[in-house]
């Protein structure tokens, strides 16, 4: 039997880290090689399998980024944006491909991704879900067909713990609409309040909810005087993001340097 693809997971003790470890435990192609947590984490030294609701896997949570990445074949990063620079520089040092699913990235972070991708292959997406990436593609198609005829709104609903707003997925939907329709940030309205003038025909509204334990719901609305088209995705389990992340890591095996997205991974 061929050796499995060894995957280091950064941010392994978090919600997404746990889901990725669960998916890797069932993969026929990949396996967990390292579970990385932050310096001083209360999880240091604990078994990552037990923490993830699995049987003991003898891969202990570690804060040794260099050792974990150097001994892996690919890396999946779902940590926090403050450590992205260290993750990318270490992957670059050991020439390891990396999947970046961390959200809330600034333009500086995105430029760093572009620069690093000149040396190693990287998959970056604000949402690794297969279904959400289909949502992205359908939104692009709908915008080409209806964009100049319709009023467009984006709705973003997540759990009360999520810090960035709008979500990375909502930001990506916005970017798709702006590019497809040749509009700019000046056309974006975040929520509405007070006495407002009549809606501008090119306006795109974004509405953010943070409540309860919603994993992630996104809807793009296209309203015309005669009809309404709604394109929605509702995540029912975090494993949907984990499955896409592992698929992206496997896509990177033997891949040339460059910056890829989930459209590349899924052949969209």
Is 208 known as a binding-site position? no
Is 194 known as a binding-site position? no
Is 16 known as a binding-site position? yes
> Read out DSSP for the chain?
-PPPEEEEEETTTSHHHHHHHHHHHH-SSEEEEEEE--TT-TTTTSBHHHHTTSS--S-BEE--HHHHHHT-SEEEE-S-GGGHHHHHHHHHHHT--EEE---S--HHHHHHHHHHTTTSEEEE-S---HHHHHHHHHHHHHHHHHTTTSEEEEEEEE-TT--SSS-HHHHHHHHHHHHHHT--GGGEEES--SS-PPPPTT-EEEEEEE-TT---EEEEEEE-SS-EEEEEEE-S-THHHHHHHHHHHHHTTTPPSEEE-HHHHHT-
Q: Which of 4, 137, 162, 202 is catalytic?
A: 162
Is 180 known as a binding-site position? no
C-alpha closest to that of 209 among 191, 197, 224: 191
Is 1 known as a binding-site position? no
Is 125 known as a binding-site position? yes
The verdict on whether 162 is a catalytic residue reads yes
Q: Which of 51, 92, 109, 158 is catalytic?
A: 158
The verdict on whether 174 is a catalytic residue reads no
92: its two tokens: 């670059």
Is 101 known as a binding-site position? yes
Is 121 known as a binding-site position? no
Residues annotated within the binding site for NAD(+) are 11-16, 101-103, 125-128
Active site residues per annotation = 158, 162
Residues annotated within the binding site for (S)-2,3,4,5-tetrahydrodipicolinate are 159, 168-169
Residues annotated within the binding site are 11-16, 101-103, 125-128, 159, 168-169
């Amino acid at each position: 039997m061929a050796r499995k693809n060894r995957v280091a997971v950064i941010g392994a003790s978090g919600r997404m880290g746990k889901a990725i470890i669960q998916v890797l435990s069932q993969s026929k192609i990949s396996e967990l090689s390292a579970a990385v947590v932050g310096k001083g984490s209360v999880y240091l030294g604990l078994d990552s399998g037990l923490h993830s609701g699995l049987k003991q896997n003898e891969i202990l949570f570690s804060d040794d980024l260099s050792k974990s990445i150097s001994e892996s074949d690919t890396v999946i990063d779902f940590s926090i944006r403050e450590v992205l620079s260290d993750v990318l520089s270490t992957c670059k040092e050991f020439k390891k491909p990396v999947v970046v699913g961390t959200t809330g990235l600034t333009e500086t972070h995105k430029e760093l991704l572009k620069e690093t991708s000149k040396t190693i292959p990287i998959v970056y997406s604000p949402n690794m879900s297969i279904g959400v990436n289909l949502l992205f593609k359908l939104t692009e198609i709908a915008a080409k067909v209806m964009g100049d005829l319709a009023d467009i709104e984006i709705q973003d609903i997540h759990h009360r713990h999520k810090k960035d707003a709008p979500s990375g997925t909502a930001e990506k939907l916005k970017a798709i609409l702006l590019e497809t329709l040749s509009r700019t940030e000046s056309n974006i309205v975040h929520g509405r309040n007070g006495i407002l003038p009549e809606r501008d025909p090119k306006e795109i509204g974004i509405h953010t909810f943070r409540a309860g334990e919603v994993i992630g719901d996104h809807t793009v609305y296209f309203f015309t005087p005669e009809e309404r088209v709604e394109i929605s995705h509702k995540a029912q389990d975090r494993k949907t993001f984990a499955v896409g992340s592992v698929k992206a890591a496997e896509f990177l095996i033997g891949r040339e340097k460059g910056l890829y997205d989930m459209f590349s991974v899924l052949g969209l």
